[in-house]
Amino acid sequence: MMIEYNFEDKAVNEMLMDQAYAEAERVNHRDEIKLEDFADLYKDVDRDTAYVQKMEREFENDTPEEKGFKKVATVFESIIYTQGEQNHWFGEDAWTIKSSRYDDIKNKIDTIVEFREEPATASRLGLAVDVTLSREMDKKLDDIKSEIDSGNLAKVKYFKSDYTHARGEISRVPRVIVAANPGTVRALADLWLERNNKVLAAHPMQFQILDEIDAQLKTFRNYAEKNGRHDLLAIYDQAIAVLNGVLIEKHKTLKDTGERDQAFFAIQERLKFFGQEQKKAPGHAERPKGKDTIRVWRP
């Protein structure tokens, strides 16, 4: 059945997000990769720690609107991180790794998804969360374009995997945006705080995320080929193949209701113009207007 979530009540909305944000911060503190664990590997851990502290102080000067969107984004990050593994949003063979605060800020990767293969090998995706639907999304896509142009793709300085035993920097990680409307995140947060795993395990948001990633990987691959970055094609081809396998298996066990929120269509529209500097998607600098009401599917 369908349930209407109406978040017009500001007090209820703020209380829900405050609770979800506190839980997200608890999860982050518990699971994020710690810089001090690499003191034996890097000589500049103190410098990177100071960089994080400096940026955190600068974030204190953000506008109330910016702080509000960052709070929602933090909650969305934690939902993806926990549900990606707990309820297999990225498939049975995927594990999520919470990046260090340094890589979150510096390298713009919130979560690494590790698709584990045999024997002890893995392919990875770097996820960058977006809930603004505006200039921030455009900037992230521009950053990805620059990574493709340079041939470097994204890197994670502080990384460790219990599966492959990799420890240290990983590079040439294909980075993608996962996006949702703030209203969608609030509805997910309600389920998340309730520990409603039955609903979360079948939630259509996982299909939205996978379709967002699939469209981006194919667009980035085509852009790389068109612009002579043939050295990146195998990386994107592997990621596309892995994701296609996830989608095939997921459609065997779950029904995709086809529900997508405005963030999904915002990404699709922007991808039509990816790499075309003078042809941004219509309304690319505008946030969606209207009431923050979201319809959420329940089985």
Structure tokens at 218: 């194919």
Look at residue 163 and tell me if it is in a domain.
yes
Longest dimension (CA), the chain: 56
What average pLDDT does the segment 144-164 reach? 95
Structure tokens at 292: 């923050």
Band of the pLDDT at 277, cuts 50, 70, 90? low
- Check residue 50 and give its pLDDT: 98
Cβ atoms of residues 258 and 106 within 8 Å? no
Percent of the chain with pLDDT over 90: 81
**Closest alpha carbon to 35 in 183, 157, 146:** 157
3-state secondary structure of 214: helix
Report in angstroms the alpha-carbon separations of 39 from 44, 45, 158, 160, 268.
8, 6, 11, 14, 42
Given CA atoms 211, 216, 221, 226 in this order, what sign does their dihedral have? positive
Look at residue 85 and tell me if it is in a domain.
yes
Element (H, E) at 272: none
- Check residue 134 and give its pLDDT: 74
Total tally of structural domains belonging to the chain: 1
Look at residue 296 and tell me if it is in a domain.
no
Q: What is the Cα–Cα distance from 144 to 154, expressed in whole angstroms?
A: 8
- Check residue 298 and give its pLDDT: 35
- Write out the E strands in the chain: 2-6, 94-98, 111-117, 121-130, 154-160, 167-173, 175-179, 293-297
pLDDT digits (tens, 9 = 90+) for 190-237: 999 999 999 999 999 999 999 999 999 999 999 999 999 999 999 999
Q: Which domain holds residue 132?
A: 2-273
Cβ atoms of residues 69 and 17 within 8 Å? no
3-state secondary structure of 20: helix
pLDDT digits (tens, 9 = 90+) for 99-153: 999 999 999 999 999 999 888 789 999 998 888 767 789 999 999 999 999 999 9
- Check residue 48 and give its pLDDT: 98
Contacts of 269 (CB under 8 A, 6+ apart): 281, 282
Instruction: Tell me the β-bridge partners of 156.
Output: 170
Look at residue 278 and tell me if it is in a domain.
no
**Res 299 pLDDT > 90:** no
Which pairing describes strands 121-130 and 175-179: parallel, antiparallel, or unpaired? parallel
The residue assigned the tokens 């997000």 is 17
Chain-centre distance of CA 283, in angstroms? Answer: 23
Look at residue 153 and tell me if it is in a domain.
yes
User: Which of 198-212 are b and which e, b meaning 16 or more Cβ less than 10 Å from the residue's Cβ?
Assistant: ebbbbbbbbbbbbbb
Pick the range with the lowest mean pLDDT from 7-11, 12-16, 259-263. Answer: 7-11
Residue with the bigger pLDDT between 4 and 280: it is 280
Look at residue 295 and tell me if it is in a domain.
no
Look at residue 294 and tell me if it is in a domain.
no
- Check residue 41 and give its pLDDT: 97
Band of the pLDDT at 288, cuts 50, 70, 90? very low
- Check residue 296 and give its pLDDT: 41
Percent of the chain with pLDDT over 70: 89
- Check residue 280 and give its pLDDT: 52
Look at residue 299 and tell me if it is in a domain.
no
- Check residue 47 and give its pLDDT: 98
Q: What is the Cα–Cα distance from 78 to 84, expressed in whole angstroms?
A: 10
